[in-house]
Structure 1
Amino acid sequence: MLDLEALPGLTRSERVRAIDTWLGGLLADAVAGTPPPKARRGGPHR
């Protein structure tokens, strides 16, 4: 979870790092919950 109250006290590079880490975690969680693609009938072979 992103600590919004702590952000104003951080330097710009620290804020960027904190937000980048937070967004990376959100992306990793989203990708982890994505089921693998299913083969489509009639579609091209992989």
Structure 2
Amino acid sequence: MHDSWRWWSLDELAATTEVVLPVDLAGVVQRAVDGDPAPEPVELPWTAL
């Protein structure tokens, strides 16, 4: 269940033990920051845990 909204640093996002959706958001953000786009569109499942 959604509890709150907040801003996360990339380090916080990668280290959290809280449930974050979409799954692997930290990995997707890290690739964008690194300028390493995925070769194909990235599926961001909002319900898969």
Q: Return the TM-score normalized by structure 1.
A: 0.29
> Which structure is higher in RCO with an 8 Å CA cutoff and minimum separation 6?
2
Q: Return the TM-score normalized by structure 2.
A: 0.27
The structure with the larger Rg is 1
